Structure 1
Amino acid sequence: MTALDDQSTRLPKSKLILLCFGLQIALFLSFIDSTSVSTILPIVGSELDATNSITWAGTAFLVANTSFQVITSRLSDCFGRKIVLIGSLFLFALGDLLAGFARNKVWLYCSRAIAGIGGGGINSLSMIIMSDVVTLRERGQYQSLLGIGIAMGSGVGPFLGAVLAEKATWRWTFWIIAPLSALTMLLIHYTVPLKPVSGDLKEKLSRMDWIGSALSQAMTVCILVPLSGGGSTFAWNSSIVISLFVIGGISVIGFILVERYLAAFPLFPGRLLLNRNVCLLLIQTWLVGIVYYGGIYFVPLYLQNVQGYSPILSAALLLPLVLGQVLTTTISGYVVKFSNRTWSSFFVGFLLWTAGQSAQLCFRENTAKGVIVGCLILQGFGIGSTIQSTLVLAQASGPSSDRAVVTGVRNFARTSGGAIGLAIGNSILQNVFLSNLPAGLPEADAEELAINFEHIQMLDKHLAVGVRDAYMQGLKDVFIFFVPVVVICLLMCAFIKDLPLDAPALPMLPANKTDGSLPDCIDTTSEENKSIPTAAIPVLQMMEKVRKS
């Protein structure tokens, strides 16, 4: 089987700017959708009689979003970027439309899963397409523009959800996304270049790693669902949690074997783990997901449940983080373009992020708004300097044929890290909170507070103060957990090699052989393979040695 088609193309400046705008809008909507739900969940749970399980609206979206990141990336290699992105936008719009009409919790959760599938495709394909149409050196600048869409969506989402829920109905949080997604589909249709992928339908279908896709779905769902629901929806020692973990573990083993021996075009090529830069950047991105999504989730809880701010005010206080992220995302893009390097950008970013995350440890029940804003701005500066520059370096560290899969795996690493980080953070919060509740609090009130903090409004004023103190102690321990995670990301920068972005790209790699062996590209004496850069030879030779051993 031949190599995957190279879908790179170059566009005139005017068309490139229009394309970038369309992809920005797609990412903006995707991140609005994923972040707006957090502020409306209590209202939705009350209306649909699902207070005890309403967090599954977020879990269903996150699990579906995570599990389809890599699959949609590889689908775009086989069928073309444009059709897969438009299909993702359609599923995204359909899921939100259905969620807006939800009449019960099962309807809502299924709708959120559909939207999550579409959102996962949007997140990966937008970055892949932008990488296709600009040179490696320009990617920092243009990926940073996409990062602005992500930052704005993350900031506007909670604010929009709170305003619509208070002034109209929570259903408009979903309904407003559907028509905007439809308009974005039209914009994408006219701006994304259509570069046909060779082969008939049968050949395109044969390129897709269907077994690996099924196993990746199984392992993602069976691991993330118990991690998200363990300790709250399910007991950690319950049969369903144990069974899901066992099935997930078996699926991981099966996935590794299929990717190694059966898949012609693996969803996760093993050579990525033999590439030091890519491997380290994926681990770093996974850790980033823990802190990034944790901040989006736990800081609003602090502002609302400890400080007592309204959902609208707490969302407004998150805007400094967004503005800081937008500013440094833009600056870092130009720094990468003109310096031809990425390392300094994300190293400084992790320094700032570490400082901002450490400063967050000073948050207390009476912390002034100015201190909160200052900490969030500092974190925003760090986030904006790291998110896109690390992606550019990951893409630069491998062959062009791996561009889509590197992007998809990187996004998978970030969102799966976020899911695991939220699970760990929630576990810390609940355990510390419940163990520090006031001694005079009735057991029934403690059980109700564990699933619905708004129950604090029904308590005596003296008890309510003690409950807020206990909740603050739980959040403080969560914030402490995040600090060493960011520090590890900072320290990992010392082991990541900076690469010039104008170096020749590594060649497109052909498919694996049917016996699981590597392509015939190790023989560097052949005329066909003389173009392989010297830096790539040791990696390819190491892969062959591993296979033979």
Structure 2
Amino acid sequence: MSHRQVLESLSGLLLGMFVSILAGTVVATSLPLIISDLKGDQSAYTWVVTATLLATTVSTPIWGKFADLFNRKLLIQLALVVFVLGSALAGFAQNTDTLIVFRIMQGLGGGGLAALSQIIMADIISPRERGRYAGLFGAVMALGTIGGPLLGGVVTDAFGWRWNFFIALPVAIVAIILLQVTLHLPERVKRVVSIDYLGIVLISAGVSLLLIWVTLAGNSFEWASLPSSAMVLGAAILLLIAVIVEFKAKEPIIPLDLFKNRTVTLAVIASLSVGVAMFGTSVFLSQYMQLARGATPTESGLLTIPMMGGLLISSTFFGNLISRTGKWKSIMVSGSVLVLAGSLLLGSLRYDTSLVFVGVFMFILGAGVGMIMQNLVLVVQNTVEITHLGVATSTVTFFRSLGGTVGVAVMGSVLGTVVAQYIRDGTGALSPANRAVAAETVGDGTIPQVSLLPAALRVVVESAYGMGVGNVFLLMVPLAVITLVTIALLPNIPLGTMTGIDRERSAAAGEAASPATGRILVDVSTASVALPPSEPELDEGKIRS
């Protein structure tokens, strides 16, 4: 395909991805106001975020497996429909419980969009060229992530927060039509399909129970308690049975043989902490800006631009650099160093930290994430067999979402506990009248509207959230170290020059395409070779040699 043909095929894919990001980020800046309006607490705030991530995490490997079995174009259109339908329904939520349910529906579609966009890109672009186009995905992701919170803030201030859930609908309709018109994939080889239903149920139940435990522990019950132990034990048993089932299944949801590949194993470990950095910062920086700095939703969107600006610039620039040079490892190691530095710097946040410094810290972290996130998928796709392209891609995305979900849940639990303690300590020195207001507005753990609080109490709440968010970012530091180590250990395999479709056709023709080099390896032991009449002395052994 020419460069123009590739861009045409990617147009609907990019717009669909933009819709999913926009629908997710447009509520980021207004989420504190939404939870406050629906009378929710910190636990509800965390659940609204983690419910989407949970559904995305659980559904991602399922979508990835379906991509190896069914029509990928139809699947991504279906995922887009499910996603925007869930988003639209969320706009009618009357309490946090119904909001969480519709956010789960959003997440089910989001899992398909996250996995299938990467899989289809691998179908039509070779690993060597993919960095060039991965920059486009990074740019779209950054545009949606930057523009979403800003647009959400403006819409919330002008029309109310419910309209945030509706604005993605017209764009989604255009994306579905564009996918139908521009995306042309060849017919897949017909084969008998065997769906691992038991594996789907066990993996979904085990991961869901684990994430529910992480979300509830520290709020509904203590970390070291009987309910906590029961949930951990139940999740462990379900996942252990799932491993046994996956070993025996004909078409496993997550083929465990994948983890014999060193690149896949290390990329999965690294993606866990990248997920925490990506999802955690977007969630808790909005809380920091509004609850510790008194920003409006619109101002909050503007103040978080440096984070996404760093991601946009680094993913675009280094994506093109990888395509030109074919060298990726030094870039990814440098990115992991920036993630570590950004996490340490954001750990120093307080309610009175200079916003210039906050912007620099966010830019550093965003640049690091931009250098790593897309390239982790790239190096995995470059090394796996073509028959496992879909499931390998979704496995990396699955663990990135899993890391983000667990990370946000743990960080939210820690933040709720720390903020409550800081507020209790800070209100002790206030007047009886202010202590009474504190007991009424923040005593039950609900997220307050800071602008409505008395000046003395407002300082206490802002200080508590400033300290709390800073402490939460320090939890990312050990994970950033793990990312640095695992990326440094990745095998430095050259990027191949064959597209996924080319490799699939080669495999169907009885040839084996080396995923790392793109060279065609023909099994001459079964090939019909015509010997030149001038060289009758050639025998089978020499032909093999």
Q: Tell me the TM-score range normalised by the shorter chain.
A: 0.7 to 0.9
* Aligned counterparts, 1:98-113, within 5 A: 98-113=89-104
Give SS of 2:80's match.
helix
| CA distances 1:387-411 after superposition (whole Å, capped 9, x unpaired) | 1122111111221222111110111
Q: Which residue is equivalent to 1:184?
A: 175
Cα gap change, 1:34 to 1:226, in 2 (>3 Å): farther
Of the two, which has the highest radius of gyration? 2
Preserved CA contact (<8 Å) 1:93 1:182: no
Cα gap change, 1:330 to 1:110, in 2 (>3 Å): same
Q: Which residue is equivalent to 2:204?
A: 217
Confirm whether residue 197 of structure 1 aligns to residue 188 of structure 2: yes
Confirm whether residue 30 of structure 1 aligns to residue 32 of structure 2: no
Cα gap change, 1:368 to 1:48, in 2 (>3 Å): closer
Confirm whether residue 306 of structure 1 aligns to residue 292 of structure 2: yes
Q: Which residue is equivalent to 1:388?
A: 374
Cα gap change, 1:466 to 1:491, in 2 (>3 Å): same
Give, as a single letter, the amino acid of the residue that structure 1 aligns with 2:311: Q
Which residue, out of 380, 387, 392, partners 1:406?
392
| CA distances 1:30-87 after superposition (whole Å, capped 9, x unpaired) | 1222223333334434554555735433232121111111100111111121111011
Give, as a single letter, the amino acid of the residue that structure 2 aligns with 1:255: A
Q: Which residue is equivalent to 1:118?
A: 109
Which residue, out of 15, 28, 32, partners 2:5?
15
Preserved CA contact (<8 Å) 1:216 1:252: yes
Percent identity among equivalent residues?
29
Q: Which residue is equivalent to 1:420?
A: 406
Give, as a single letter, the amino acid of the residue that structure 1 aligns with 2:298: I
Preserved CA contact (<8 Å) 2:46 2:409: no
Q: Which residue is equivalent to 1:85?
A: 76
Give, as a single letter, the amino acid of the residue that structure 2 aligns with 1:482: M
Measure, in 1, the Cα distance between the counterparts of 2:372 and 2:460. 39
Return the offset for 1:108.
2.7
Give, as a single letter, the amino acid of the residue that structure 2 aligns with 1:469: S
Q: Which residue is equivalent to 1:4?
A: none
TM-score (norm 1): 0.84
* Aligned counterparts, 1:319-358, within 5 A: 319-358=305-344
Q: Which residue is equivalent to 2:213?
A: 226
Confirm whether residue 143 of structure 1 aligns to residue 134 of structure 2: yes
Q: Which residue is equivalent to 1:448?
A: 442
Measure, in 1, the Cα distance between the counterparts of 2:498 and 2:30. 49
Preserved CA contact (<8 Å) 1:430 1:450: no
Quick check: 405-414 or 151-160, which moved more? Answer: 151-160
Measure, in 2, the Cα distance between the counterparts of 1:423 and 1:173. 24
Cα gap change, 1:251 to 1:187, in 2 (>3 Å): same
Give, as a single letter, the amino acid of the residue that structure 2 aligns with 1:345: I
Preserved CA contact (<8 Å) 1:89 1:185: yes
Measure, in 1, the Cα distance between the counterparts of 2:381 and 2:73. 20
Measure, in 2, the Cα distance between the counterparts of 1:428 and 1:71. 31
Preserved CA contact (<8 Å) 2:380 2:392: yes
| CA distances 1:71-113 after superposition (whole Å, capped 9, x unpaired) | 0011111112111101101111211222223344443322221
Measure, in 2, the Cα distance between the counterparts of 1:333 and 1:459. 47
Give SS of 1:153's match.
helix
Measure, in 1, the Cα distance between the counterparts of 2:526 and 2:113. 37
Measure, in 1, the Cα distance between the counterparts of 2:451 and 2:160. 23
Return the offset for 1:120.
1.0
Measure, in 1, the Cα distance between the counterparts of 2:32 and 2:335. 35
Preserved CA contact (<8 Å) 2:115 2:393: yes
TM-score (norm 2): 0.85
Q: Which residue is equivalent to 1:470?
A: 464
Consecutive unaligned residues in structure 2, runs of 5 or more? 508-521, 528-545
Give SS of 1:454's match.
coil
Cα gap change, 1:505 to 1:399, in 2 (>3 Å): farther
Preserved CA contact (<8 Å) 1:155 1:315: yes
Q: Which residue is equivalent to 1:272?
A: 258
Quick check: 410-419 or 495-504, which moved more? Answer: 495-504
Return the offset for 1:247.
3.1
Cα gap change, 1:364 to 1:140, in 2 (>3 Å): same
Q: Which residue is equivalent to 1:539?
A: none
Cα gap change, 1:240 to 1:411, in 2 (>3 Å): same
Question: What RMSD, in angstroms, separates the aligned Cα atoms of the two structures?
Answer: 2.8
Cα gap change, 1:119 to 1:234, in 2 (>3 Å): farther
Q: Which residue is equivalent to 2:420?
A: 434
Cα gap change, 1:235 to 1:457, in 2 (>3 Å): farther
Confirm whether residue 62 of structure 1 aligns to residue 53 of structure 2: yes
Measure, in 1, the Cα distance between the counterparts of 2:414 and 2:355. 25
Q: Which residue is equivalent to 1:521?
A: none
Q: Which residue is equivalent to 2:514?
A: none
Confirm whether residue 492 of structure 1 aligns to residue 486 of structure 2: yes
Measure, in 2, the Cα distance between the counterparts of 1:172 and 1:128. 32
Cα gap change, 1:226 to 1:443, in 2 (>3 Å): farther
Quick check: 446-455 or 322-331, which moved more? Answer: 446-455
Return the offset for 1:375.
1.6
Q: Which residue is equivalent to 2:146?
A: 155
Preserved CA contact (<8 Å) 2:210 2:235: yes
Which has the bigger relative contact order, CA under 8 A and spacing at least 6? 2
Preserved CA contact (<8 Å) 1:326 1:384: yes
Give SS of 1:39's match.
coil
Confirm whether residue 254 of structure 1 aligns to residue 241 of structure 2: yes
Measure, in 2, the Cα distance between the counterparts of 1:146 and 1:407. 15
Preserved CA contact (<8 Å) 1:335 1:345: no
Quick check: 77-86 or 396-405, which moved more? Answer: 396-405
Give SS of 2:252's match.
coil
Quick check: 27-36 or 228-237, which moved more? Answer: 228-237
| CA distances 1:450-486 after superposition (whole Å, capped 9, x unpaired) | 6334265565533443343333322222122222321
Cα gap change, 1:526 to 1:229, in 2 (>3 Å): farther
Measure, in 1, the Cα distance between the counterparts of 2:337 and 2:39. 45
* Aligned counterparts, 1:370-389, within 5 A: 370-389=356-375
Paired residues, number: 501
Give SS of 2:144's match.
helix
Give, as a single letter, the amino acid of the residue that structure 2 aligns with 1:221: S
Give, as a single letter, the amino acid of the residue that structure 2 aligns with 1:500: P
Q: Which residue is equivalent to 1:133?
A: 124
Quick check: 448-457 or 419-428, which moved more? Answer: 448-457
Measure, in 1, the Cα distance between the counterparts of 2:48 and 2:413. 19
Preserved CA contact (<8 Å) 1:59 1:225: no
Preserved CA contact (<8 Å) 1:62 1:415: yes
Give SS of 1:502's match.
coil
Give, as a single letter, the amino acid of the residue that structure 2 aligns with 1:445: A
Preserved CA contact (<8 Å) 1:148 1:330: yes
| CA distances 1:294-345 after superposition (whole Å, capped 9, x unpaired) | 1111222222222222221121011122122111111111111121121112
Preserved CA contact (<8 Å) 1:67 1:221: yes
Cα gap change, 1:190 to 1:162, in 2 (>3 Å): same
Measure, in 2, the Cα distance between the counterparts of 1:46 and 1:374. 30
